[in-house]
Amino acid sequence: MSELNVKVGLIGKFDMLKFKNMSKTREKAIQAAPAGEISGVFPVNENAKALHPDFLELTIDQIVARNAAKTFVLKSKDGKPLPYFRAGQYISLKLPLDDSLVTRSYSLCSSPKEALGGSYAITVRANPGGFVADRLLSEKKVGDTVIASAPQGFFYYEDLRDAKKVIGLAGGSGITPFLSLARAICDGIEDFELTLLYGSRTEEDILFRGELDEIARVCPKFKVIHVLSDEEKEGFEHGFVTAELIRKYAPEGEEYSVFLCGPEAMYKFLKPEIQKLGLPERRFRRKLIDVTKTPWECEGYPQECRGKCFTLTVRQGPQEWSIPASAEEPVLVAIERAGIKAPSRCRAGECGWCRSRLLTGTVFIPQENEMRRWADVHYGYIHPCCSFPTGDLTLEIPGEFY
């Protein structure tokens, strides 16, 4: 075999010499470095944590009373910017009430711009007989600390999907995500035209009327029409929001999207009305629907279960509890009543944060809240926030870390 002769130029010899001495150079740098603890903090990780925190500690900075509701202005405890959000998203509060630990989601009604100044705003409306809202309104005060999730949810404008002109349909406290959207448009953060049909019982019941009218005055891309169901007054539409009323304010001959946020009764009424519009499915957006308080009125509910109470066995790591669970309440409510610390956020079947494995038993899930992945259905996972027990259950839930 003949020998292989390789010629190496002067520059190549220097490169090889540098490579040969690399370990000596590295050792010299290590010995010259201080003997302190090596930092495990990296800028990219810190930025990711700031944008997507596990939880937020917020201080109630201001409380604004309005009709049967209050707006809570929440500030970061250290004054730093809060995670940015898309107008229309919500945060979930985790609240200790008596022996229970509950979560409730509230749409952000502030502009995303205010998050950069370390501020969020939510509005809570009175809910007589409710488990959380009235306690929040009566007990929380300026200076109190609350624990919240980072912003989340999918009720926001997306220009790849939505038309440049949007008809918003709001009812009651369903106005809050639209107020955030209107403010974002006014601030130049969002670029689309929003015509809002806002339904209230009377003129006095209108939430944020001053703010909405002022934004409409200074921002040509936003328009608000107030619809009163119980009063007939000049300058207001009267009755309910219908397909006919939507067509009256929709752009003629142009594509438009419809966004809907309101109470359960409004969803039920508007579902057939929106179908009359003949919009493509991608042109209709609804905010997640709260789980029904009357599951026995839903299609497919086993009527023989109504009024019954079953035994729910909850497993979380090495711990196990046996608790009662009403057939007329979601499984998550039974878990919270027992004081068990379980994960949840949207409480409507959308986010999957409470995803748990159903080991034994059966549940009823309302059709509008059934948003599980195929694999979860196949392998027996449920969302306890929107699942009603139809017999004794054994459930394996994940841990919660805040």
pLDDT tens digit sequence for 192-244: 999 999 999 999 999 999 999 999 999 999 999 999 999 999 999 999 999 99
Residue 158 domain flag:
no
For 284-336, write each residue's pLDDT tens digit. Answer: 999 877 899 899 999 999 999 999 999 999 999 999 999 999 999 999 999 99
Residue 43 domain flag:
no
Beta strands in 173-308 (DSSP E): 193-200, 222-228, 237-238, 257-261, 284-286
The structural domain count of the chain equals: 3
Q: Give the domain range for residue 185.
A: 165-286
For 57-83, write each residue's pLDDT tens digit. Answer: 999 999 999 888 999 999 998 888 999
Residue 182 domain flag:
yes
Residue 318, domain CATH:
3.10.20.30
Residues 322 and 276 in one domain: no
Residues 281 and 171 in one domain: yes
Residue with tokens 């980072």: 150
Residue 17 domain flag:
no
Residues 169 and 282 in one domain: yes
Residue 7 domain flag:
no
- pLDDT category at 4 given cuts 50, 70, 90 is low
In DSSP terms, which residues pair with 1 in a beta bridge? none
Boundary residue ending a domain (148, 174, 203) = 148
Give CA–CA dist 292/261, Å, rounded: 15
Residues 177 and 200 in one domain: yes
Residues 170 and 246 in one domain: yes
Residues 281 and 304 in one domain: no
Residues 313 and 359 in one domain: yes
Predicted TM-score of the model (pTM): 0.85
Half-sphere exposure (Cβ direction) of 132: Cα atoms closer than 13 Å:
16
Q: Which residue from 284, 288, 313 is spatially nearest to 389, judged by alpha carbons? A: 313
- pLDDT category at 1 given cuts 50, 70, 90 is low
Residues 275 and 302 in one domain: no
Residues 363 and 305 in one domain: yes
- Tokens for 72, please give them: 């809570």
The per-residue pLDDT of the chain, averaged, comes to 91
Boundary residue ending a domain (265, 286, 307) = 286
Residue 25 domain flag:
no
Residues 361 and 381 in one domain: yes
